[in-house]
Copies of this chain bind each other. A is one copy, B any other.
Amino acid sequence: MKNMDLKPMLKPESVAIIGASRDPDKVGHVILQNYINGGYSGRIYAVNKSADEIMGIKSYSSVLDIKDKIDLAVISIPAQFVPEALEECGKAKVRTVVVVSGGFAEVGNNGLQEQLVKIAEKYNMPTLGPNCLGVMDPRSRVDTLFLPTYKLSRPSIGGVSFVCQSGAVGSTVLDMISGEGFGLSKFISYGNAAHIDEVDILRYLMGDKETKVIIMYIEGIKRGKEFIEIARKITKVKPVIVLKAGRTAAGQAAAHSHTAALAGNYESHEAIFRQYGFTIAEDLSDLLNYAKILSSEPRPKGGRLAIVTNGGGTGVLAADATGLSGYLQLAELSGKSRAALQKTMPPLVNLRVPLDLAGDADEKRYGDAMSILSTDETIDMFLVIVLFQTPGADSRVAAKLISFKEKLDKPMIVLSIGTDYTRMHKVMMESAGLPVYDSPNAAIRSLVELLKHSIYLNRK
């Protein structure tokens, strides 16, 4: 049986950095430094043929010299030396390997890459890469990224796992996740997919209890049949959001020279994704927007949307996006709701959706409106727009919405657009599990994807 257990890679008790370096400009330096300073509590070993000590720890000339059992070896040395190092890992019974180094199939060195695969198979040793960023797990503090933390903020602990073929896309999306409230479960950047590929990773993450939602950036699928087999199962267990690059001839050619991926026909990939209930992203920001809602919100019963707003125009834009969505409709409030609103709302407020609470709405008015609407059976989901620029909107409104969210068994998201003062409240609400969006279209499209996922699950 082929061993593709990624647990020793993601929860290693011991790590060897092969190519650890004293030179701050070297990748092997940054990786070792991130382990030493990053709070990793396992055992760390440096491997470098030409040094006895690096950053205060002993350096070994080969992984074979280390007496300890190694769960994860990270290889960051020039491509031509990688096969030898990998062979030594096999002999030393290293349990898993990440090959960070580039210079393989992505630049035409197919033979060199095949050597790696043969060695990995010979020792039945799960090997990630080459030409990748590797892995990160904020719980175990494993972090093979060769990017310093001042450049790339690390995400907090959460339930979203991110599978990414590209290192560059991986690093930017990770940096963006660090600014979101939902947090990261695992990051796995698999580069050329020589040994471990997307099928192995999805199989592992399907059974990973810490992973609630998976987001993926892929350039090519290597094993179509096996991919379909896992695709059929996985979305019934947890949502998978996919951004597939190589949608055009131009993109496919670029993908091939990037990770040697054969991007294939996009339409056929898209058909598979749709058939098996994947959520399809069209831009990097979609990955985050959809992960946010799918990781926090309950399944909606339908698409009848209540929009509550303190900004009329923003309510109009959200109503337009609803009308154009093809999936959602504005809720028609019940007579009971309208009568109750009539009593509590000021005379200027129109008793319809979008419910415009007016520019002076404060936490009392939001609270009154949400009290009434949260029991209205004509409503399936809520979009609450809070423009924090207005006089009445402040932290008390955010706190009030959080308290409603905690009791509500329907999806509820917030739309707040702005800079510093708004971002402060976004962090506050997202930390409490209330997703916040920054554009009407992004908010509505995310609600649509939540509904589509629910429809897919109901179809069975």
Which A residues lie at the B interface, using CB under 8 A? 25, 27, 30, 102-103, 106-107, 146-148, 150-153, 164-172, 174-176, 178-179, 217, 219, 243, 245-251, 253-255, 257-259, 282-285, 309-317, 319-320, 322-324, 329-330, 347-348, 350, 352, 354, 356, 358-359, 387-391, 393, 417-422, 439-441
Contact = CB atoms under 8 A, between A and B. Distances in A.
Given A107-B348, A217-B313, A439-B285, A323 B153 contact: no
A347 B108 CA distance: 11
Contacts of A358: 102
Contacts of A255: 316
Contacts of A107: 347-348, 350
The 7 closest A-B pairs by CB, nearest first: A168-B311, A166-B313, A248-B323, A251-B320, A258-B312, A169-B313, A171-B389
A340 to B, nearest CB: 19
A79 to B, nearest CB: 10
Main secondary structure of the interface of A (DSSP, over half): mixed
A246 B317 CA distance: 7
A169 to B, nearest CB: 4
A284 B168 contact: no
Given A167-B359, A440-B284, A389 B354 contact: no
A219 to B, nearest CB: 6
Nearest to A422: B175
Contacts of A283: 317, 439-441
Contacts of A164: 313
Contact of A175 (B171, B282, B356, B389): B389
B419 A153 contact: yes
Given A165-B313, A166-B316, 5 more contacts: A153-B421, A176-B418, A179-B419, A254-B356, A285-B439
